[in-house]
């Protein structure tokens, strides 16, 4: 039962963008129980350990569509 709940929680944080499954950095940091800023710092410091397509920045239209689909991401609306 606990594993099923965990899968539901993770599945709720996966989106399809550019035809691939992605997670927003904030959600990934939350799963690992670290600050988003720290997660991004570690990825940048260790970029060679990740595949080239591990991380990308959303275009404005992608961000707006994501915010429109998911109310919990309202804070993304004004982020740069």
In whole angstroms, what is the distance from residue 15 CA to residue 20 CA?
A: 8
DSSP letter (8 states) at residue 50 = S
C-beta separation of 54 from 43 below 8 A: yes
- In 3D space, the residue among 61, 64, 59, 58 whose CA is nearest the CA of residue 77 turns out to be 64
In whole angstroms, what is the distance from residue 59 CA to residue 57 CA?
A: 6
pLDDT of residue 42: 93
Average pLDDT for consecutive 10-residue bins of the chain (80 residues)? 64 90 91 93 92 87 88 70
- pTM comes to 0.73
- In 3D space, the residue among 18, 40, 17 whose CA is nearest the CA of residue 27 turns out to be 40
């Amino acid at each position: 039962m606990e594993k099923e709940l965990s899968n539901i929680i993770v599945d709720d944080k996966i989106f399809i963008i550019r035809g691939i499954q992605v997670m927003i950095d904030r959600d990934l940091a939350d799963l690992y129980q670290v600050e988003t800023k720290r997660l991004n710092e570690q990825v940048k410091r260790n970029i060679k350990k990740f595949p080239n397509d591990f991380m990308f920045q959303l275009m404005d239209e992608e961000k707006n569509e994501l915010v429109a689909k998911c109310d919990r991401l309202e804070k993304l609306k004004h982020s740069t």
